[in-house]
Amino acid sequence: MNKKVEKITDEQLKELQGHVNTINNAQLQLGQLESQKHGVVNAIPQLQVKLKEFQDKLEEEYGKVSINIQDGTIQEIPEADEQANT
C-alpha cells in the first residue's frame, strides 16, 4: 500500500509559486487602489462645498461676474434683460 508521492520539479514549483504570488500582489494592489478611490470619492463633495463657499465670497466682493480660472480676469455677466435687447 505504499504509494510513491510524486512531486513537480523544483523549477516548476518555483514558477507555480511565482504565478500565485503575482496574482496575490495584484489583488493586494487592487484593494489598495479601491481604498484610495473610496477616499477620493468621499472627499469630492467636501471639496465642492469649499469651492462653493469661496465662490460665494468672491461674489460678495465682485458681484455676479465670470472669472477666468487661468489668469484671474473678471468679466461682467450681461443681465437677462440686456441680452434680450441686443
Q: How many angstroms separate the CA atoms of 76 and 39, rounded?
A: 38
pLDDT at 54: 98
The pLDDT value recorded for residue 83 is 54
**pLDDT at position 3, please?**
80
CB-based contact 75:66 (threshold 8 Å): yes
* pLDDT, tens digit, 9 for 90 and up, residues 19-35: 999 999 999 999 999 99
pLDDT 10s digits, 59-81: 999 999 999 999 999 999 888 76
User: Across all residues in the chain, what is the average pLDDT?
Assistant: 92
Beta-bridge partner residues of 76: 65
pTM higher than 0.75 for the full model?
no
